[in-house]
Amino acid sequence: MKNKRPEGYSSKKHPVLEHIFKKYYKAGANQEVIPFYLSDISEGYAACGIKEPVSISNTILDLCRQNRGIDSRVPESISSLGYDLRKRTGFADDRDYKYAGEFVFVGVGNELKSWLEWPEKFEEIVIDSTNIPPEVVPFIRPDEGGLFSVIDYCDVLTRVIWDGKHKVHRIQNPMKWQPNEIDGFYTSKIDDQTYVFPIEAKALTTQDAVNMDQFKGEHEVVVYKMKKMGFLDVHIQSIALRMTRNAINIAVFKADETPGSPVRVVKVIFNPAIKNWS
């Protein structure tokens, strides 16, 4: 099988999308949203003679990690009909199929705005980084693992979420709840109220944007899992993190609601500076 970009396409994934789109698109029908499934992606790779990657679930995510324009997400055959691509997760109603994405009608010449827009100005907090053991500092990298190490050593979430008044504890990083992976999962208790914080994190090494469609899907998975596990009174508050030079931008969203616009955005600056993040 071929494993290179087919001629005439800007991505080797585009023929796969084209195959899927043709499967579900009905000319003349009013199709605002055309969902498709992981099984469709596998079928598309086979039909196009393209080697299937190790993780087909990343096929749509890779196209939507950053806003590089509609032409990077879908081929001209799809955009010319007014459709863009959006990441989608979760199960179909019968729970037999896992969603992979959806084509969304936006009109010719338009495109989706699926990424978190950070404000130009932030509330700033300076946090002492001397809690990081000196032996550890030289080895902390500007990747996702290093990001969470600094957060935990410096107790960043306790300071940002509750202004230091209530302790935030790490549950597990990452939390792999199919069909999603939660980058960070934390909890806190105030009196008799329990909170959990699913976190979407972006590191300097990837420079990815926070895809709000993926972010909302992760929130919905946590809601489903909490109910299934019997934690009916747990408050769920989603948080997005973006590592920058010697700092972390943190967007906090309203508890018990699907993430929309953040209710608080904070830039955490470390003093002394973290060498490998500078």
C-alpha–C-alpha distance, residues 219 and 119, integer Å: 22
Distances (CA, A) of 5 to 9, 21, 54, 140, 182: 7, 19, 17, 36, 31
Q: What token pair was written down for 214?
A: 């993926």
The reported pTM is 0.82
Q: What token pair was written down for 230?
A: 């019997």
The b-or-e profile of 181-207 (16+ CB within 10 A means b, else e) is: ebbbbbebeeeeeebbbbbbbbbbeee
Q: What is the pLDDT along the chain (278 residues), one digit of tens a residue?
A: 445 556 667 788 999 999 999 999 999 899 999 999 999 999 999 999 999 888 888 899 889 888 889 999 999 999 999 999 998 877 777 657 888 999 999 999 999 988 999 988 889 999 999 999 999 999 999 999 999 999 999 999 999 999 999 999 999 999 988 767 899 999 999 989 999 999 999 998 877 889 898 899 899 899 999 999 999 999 999 999 999 999 999 999 999 999 999 999 999 999 999 989 98
